[in-house]
Amino acid sequence: MIEAHSLTKRYGERTAVSDLSFSVRPGIVTGFLGPNGAGKSTTMRMLLGLDAPTSGRAVVNGRSYAEHRAPLHEVGAMLEARAIHTGRSAYNHLLALAATTGIPARRVNEVIDLVGLREVAKKRVGGFSLGMGQRLGIASALLGDPATVILDEPVNGLDPEGILWIRNLLKGLAAEGRTVLVSSHLMSEMALTAEHLIVIGRGRLIADTSVAEFTAQAAGDVVRVRTEDAEKLRALLAAPDVTVESRAPGVLEVTGLSSDRIGRVAADHAIALAELTPQQASLEEAFMELTRDAVEFQAPAPELVAAGSEGSAA
């Protein structure tokens, strides 16, 4: 269980996190979403007591992190995959962390096997690929068999197989009753992994909602219709709570009517339809819409990342 109470962090003039309150429940994966620079990493550092909040309080498993006497058993965290001395082997890195709380070398070997780093465990971390570094970061997080797991951008730099592995790992951890908080700037990834979402932008809470609700909101009910008799159909569909837009000749975008109903009206009036498709706004678009005002660095013409492209890998 993680609770943030009015967390605020200012660096001089800049406010990185502003009056942020949320709670993260055990037993499900909670996604922590926001564009780059939204304050996700700063918030996570405050949860772990690495950065002191300017005001407000972070509580993990009932206490502020620094008050835990056996922190590795309470919270396992990967803040940056590269928070590892590059000159040390993966095995010695884990062994040194384990020693702080008396975790035996046997457990170090267990987590090495768990993340699949057995073959490179005795090699220096400096030569690791980004994906191997991520796996080592996750091994450090799981070392103390913690009740709460906090991972910052764990899928960054992973290949599709690695992404699938993380997804299953996170769901497995949550199924064991642990609290799992995972940050990402990719909505599509979170839609597949998380059950609950906390969305922030410019350090402020934008949404605290379930993925199902978010998806339902995002879906809308736009139906795309293509027909040669577009103007005739448009007139027939007109009603107070129905809007019809036309962005191209012969193409209508209808909001407020189901595709069944539109098809029935067209059939009744002998209008031939070339296309009748319910549209779903992609999750990524919905996410971008939600955070549009909160994006710190905006390209002149942002490219949309098609949601669901990750889905094919699942």
Partner 1 sequence: MTTASLIPAAARGEVTQARVIHSEWIKLRSLRSTLFTLLAAVLAMIGLGLLFSYFTADRWAHLPADEKAHFDPTLVSLRGFYLAQLAVGVLGVLVVSGEYATGMIRASLSAVPRRLPVLWAKALVYGVVAWVLTTAASLVAFLIGQAAMSGHHLGTSLSAPGVVRAVLGAGLYLTVVGLLGVAFGALIRNTAGGIATVFGVLLVLPVLAEALPSSWFQNINPYLPSTAGQGLLHIHQEPHTLAPWTGFAFFCLYALIALAGAGVALKRRDA
Count of residues in contact with partner 1, rule CB under 8 A: 49
- Can you tell me which of 1, 25, 36, 52 binds partner 1, judged by CB under 8 A? 52
- Can you tell me which of 87, 116, 160, 311 binds partner 1, judged by CB under 8 A? 87
The token pair that represents 227 in the structure block: 């027909």
The reply to whether 226 sits near partner 1 by the rule CB under 8 A is no
Q: What separation in angstroms does the CA of 10 have from each of 2, 17, 81, 272?
A: 21, 7, 25, 61
Stretch that binds partner 1, among 140-148, 242-250, 262-270, 287-295 (CB under 8 A): 140-148
The reply to whether 189 sits near partner 1 by the rule CB under 8 A is no
Are the CB atoms for 192 and 310 separated by under 8 Å?
yes
Of 273, 274, 283, 279, residue with least CA distance to 257:
279
Of 88-107, binders to partner 1 (CB under 8 A) are 88-89, 92-93, 95-97, 99-103, 107
The reply to whether 118 sits near partner 1 by the rule CB under 8 A is no
The reply to whether 86 sits near partner 1 by the rule CB under 8 A is yes
Are the CB atoms for 140 and 92 separated by under 8 Å?
no
Q: Which is nearer to partner 1, 43 or 215 (CB)?
A: 43
Q: How far is the CB of 104 from partner 1 (least distance, A)?
A: 8
Sheet holding 222-227, edge to edge: 243-248, 251-255, 222-227, 273-279
- Can you tell me which of 2, 4, 117, 142 binds partner 1, judged by CB under 8 A? 142
Of 153-172, binders to partner 1 (CB under 8 A) are 165, 168-169, 172
Stretch that binds partner 1, among 48-56, 248-256, 258-266, 292-300 (CB under 8 A): 48-56
Q: Is 240 helix (H, G, I), strand (E, B) or coil?
A: coil
Handedness of CA 259, 264, 269, 270 (dihedral sign): positive
Q: What CA–CA distance (Å, rounded) separates 151 from 149?
A: 7
Q: Which is nearer to partner 1, 75 or 244 (CB)?
A: 75
- Can you tell me which of 23, 59, 83, 256 binds partner 1, judged by CB under 8 A? 83
Q: How far is the CB of 290 from partner 1 (least distance, A)?
A: 30
Q: What CA–CA distance (Å, rounded) separates 265 from 236?
A: 8
Phi/psi of residue 12, nearest 5 degrees:
60, -120
Which distant-in-sequence residues (6+ apart) come within 8 Å of 161 by Cβ?
Answer: none
Q: x/- string (CB under 8 A) for partner 1, residues 3-22?
A: --------------------
Q: How far is the CB of 261 from partner 1 (least distance, A)?
A: 45
The token pair that represents 264 in the structure block: 């029935």
Q: Which is nearer to partner 1, 145 or 195 (CB)?
A: 145
Q: Which is nearer to partner 1, 172 or 220 (CB)?
A: 172
Reduced 3-state DSSP string for 129-174:
CHHHHHHHHHHHHHCCCCCEEEEECCCCCCCHHHHHHHHHHHHHHH
What residues line the site for partner 1 (CB under 8 A)? Answer: 45, 48-52, 65-66, 68-73, 75, 77, 79-80, 82-89, 92-93, 95-97, 99-103, 107, 110, 114, 140, 142, 144-145, 165, 168-169, 172-173, 176
